Amino acid sequence: MTTVGSFEAKTHLPQLLERVSRGEQILITKHGQPVAMLVPAPPAKKKDVKQIIADFKAYSKRQGRTLGDLSIREMIEEGRRF
């Protein structure tokens, strides 16, 4: 693990973040005392698109939203007229 002082960390933050993004851990000290640690962020979870759509449809249904007597096809065609 690399150790850097707070002034150096402030001065070279972009370079330190690049190193951290490659998996390195960096300890930041102030007057020789550890104060913070830069570590890679946990990997972002990929969201299931099908689940998001299902959740949105369920939410819309709970809210009572409808297209009235229009179909999605009619709305698409209406949008193309402009």
Indicate if 32 and 53 belong to the same structural domain. Answer: no
Indicate if 29 and 55 belong to the same structural domain. Answer: no
Indicate if 7 and 30 belong to the same structural domain. Answer: yes
For the chain, the residue count is: 82
Indicate if 32 and 54 belong to the same structural domain. Answer: no
The answer to whether residue 14 is domain-embedded is yes
CATH code at position 31: 3.40.1620
pLDDT in tens, 26-63: 999 999 999 999 999 998 888 889 999 999 889 988 88
Q: Average pLDDT for residues 52-76, to the nearest whole number?
A: 84
Residue 35: predicted pLDDT: 97
Residue 82: predicted pLDDT: 64
Indicate if 6 and 27 belong to the same structural domain. Answer: yes
Domain residue limits at 7: 2-38
The answer to whether residue 12 is domain-embedded is yes
**Residue 37, phi-psi category: left (phi > 0), alpha (psi -120 to 50), beta (remainder):** beta
Rounded to whole angstroms, the Cα distance separating 47 from 9 reads 34
